[in-house]
Chains A and B, each alone.
Chain A
Amino acid sequence: MGSPGLRLALDPGNKNHPMKNQESVLIDSASDFHKVTAQPRTSIEVQNVTVSFPTPKGTFTAVKDINLTIRKGEIVSLIGHSGCGKSTLMGTISGMAQPTGGQVVANGKKVTGPGPDRGIVFQNYSLLPWLSVYRNIYEAVDSVMKDKTRAEKREHVEQNLKMVNLYAHKDKLPGQLSGGMKQRVAIARAFAINPSILLLDEPFGALDALTKSAMHVELLKLWNLDHREKTIVMVTHDIEEAIFLSDRVVVMSDGPAATIREIVDVPLERPRNKKEIVHHPAYMEIHDRLLSLLIDKYSIEDYKD
């Protein structure tokens, strides 16, 4: 949440801001006007981050010397082969893991641990199996939004449950849910604490194409609702998803000691239409680029064997 004082004065997302209405109509993602003047801050800075794990066979370096700067309100996808270190990198941003070298700065502060300004969707959902869907979200909300009343928190949780279309299942235990439903609970939980940075590790991986599309729309809706102030970093294996959602796609090289292979810009205008966008020449170019970056790797591997 950065410095609240500054936000109050300058944040056009604030309801009291006199210029809010004019601005939010005028501004789209292509124009960074208000961000440049009012919020010149970057949201996340990954500086020379290296993560190594001690193993019985010596140190294993998963990612090495990663540098990445993400602007406030940007949507960035991380893409790369399985095991290259995407979750590891996300861990250093979320604060769940400490980098062995370098540092991460989020919202102007060095990351030393998880914080309420960063909402995390874990790759394996991480729901508490003895709490109902509702309680899983409520406990997180209760712990982060301390100054809200019980009724407000309940209202807030229910709203988020409706957003992921799980209100009817709110009393079920995680064990009674399908994989996709669990994933949606995890998403609702991360959204519910209203963080300025959302860190999503393959958030839509277990969903069918239809639900996935609906969740994409929900994600963008949420992002728009907050005047595109939220920064979203997302790991995905889905090229189409990455292009549709992101401003930039970060392609990682294979591990060990993985680094950023290339950052591909997605300068497609928002709002984007899923059906139309695929016929856009820029889209096809980006798609081809990403595909060759990823497939290229595969073919090299194939020759090695």
Chain B
Amino acid sequence: MQTIKFMLRGVLYFSGGMLLLLGVWAAIAWLNRNPEATELADKYPLPTPLMTFDVLKEIFTQPFQDDPDVKGIGVKLWGSLLRVLVGFGLGSLVAVPLGLLLGSSRVLMNLVNPVVQILRPVSPLAWYPLGLAVFSATNHGGEGLLNPSSKAAIFMIFICSLWPTLINTAFGVASIPQDHKNVGRAFGFSLWKYLTRILLPYCLPHIITGLKLSIGVAWMVIVAGEMLSGGAGLGFFVWEEGFNAGKVTHIIVAIFIIGIVGFVLDKIFSLLQKAFSY
């Protein structure tokens, strides 16, 4: 009963916030109108919520159309998501074990820390040309996800999703309380038992926090990356079908989709975080 009430309140607040956003948006669109123009698109340089909604419906009539020259929005979204998940997955596969190692060894930490500190502030987009150059030179004629520009985008996501997970994991390991370690020592835990019963459970919340930050960055970066790479994904949709085609409504629709997907990804990791807080 209490939870239903709680959820209902959440929904109410959410709807309220959305209404507020729509109101502000509509007001700006109206203030920004061009009264002399005859065409609707010219009259509102910033399209109104209603105009955008019409386009949204149109875009979503055939979301999964997958013809060689026409790709539905769902296909593009899936393409972006796939690149993010592959890059993020590979990044996490490296970042978690490496973070565990760095957290347990002061020597390794001191050795690797400067490298991390220098590479971390680099904008992920700077890695894209590097990836593209290398993957184009070694192109074996991959298709779809495996063509050089897609591989370069995955590489970029890989790099940028490395840092938050790496740093959080290492910090987690380094901060295991002495009390917990004492249990392992006092009762003679094997290395395996120590890893699976003490180290990993303690670090899991830290790791998940790192993963959550990582996927947030990855999702933010993919759109920009696809604007550079062109050809596929939501970023390409924004740039090609929105800006280049002069359709501001498309840009706004894309922004909403990007936002909602990012929100969902974040929520998933928040739920994981909750599940693993002791």
Interface residues of A (CB under 8 A from B): 94, 96, 113-116, 120, 122, 124, 126-131, 139-140, 142-144, 173, 175, 189, 193
User: Interface SS of chain B: helix, strand, loop or mixed?
Assistant: helix
Contact B180 A128 (CB under 8 A): yes
Contact A96 B188 (CB under 8 A): no
Is B82 in contact with chain A by the CB < 8 A criterion? Answer: no
Contact A143 B187 (CB under 8 A): yes
| Residue of B180, B186, B189, B197 contacting most chain A CB atoms (<10 Å) | B186
CB distance from B233 to the nearest CB of A (A): 39
CB distance from A165 to the nearest CB of B (A): 22
A116 vs B190: C-alpha distance when bound (angstroms): 13
Residues of chain A within 8 A of B193, CB atoms compared = 139, 142-143
Contact with A along B157-196 (1 / 0, CB 8 A): 0000000000000000000000110110111111001000
Is B198 in contact with chain A by the CB < 8 A criterion? Answer: yes
Contact B278 A175 (CB under 8 A): yes
**5 CB < 8 A contacts A-B:** A113-B185, A114-B187, A122-B182, A128-B198, A144-B188
A94 vs B197: C-alpha distance when bound (angstroms): 22
B contact residues, total (Cβ < 8 Å): 16
A144 vs B182: C-alpha distance when bound (angstroms): 15
Given contacts A115-B188, A116-B187, A128-B180, 14 further A-B contacts (CB under 8 A): A94-B186, A113-B185, A114-B185, A116-B188, A120-B186, A122-B182, A122-B186, A130-B201, A130-B278, A139-B193, A144-B187, A175-B278, A189-B187, A193-B187
Given contacts A128-B198, A139-B193, A143-B190, contact A96 B179 (CB under 8 A): no
Q: Which of A130, A131, A139 contacts B187 (CB 8 A)?
A: A139
| Residue of A114, A122, A128 contacting most chain B CB atoms (<10 Å) | A128
Chain B residue nearest to A135 (CB atoms) is: B197
Q: Which 9 A-B pairs have the closest CB atoms?
A: A140-B187, A130-B201, A129-B278, A126-B179, A130-B278, A120-B186, A114-B186, A126-B183, A143-B189
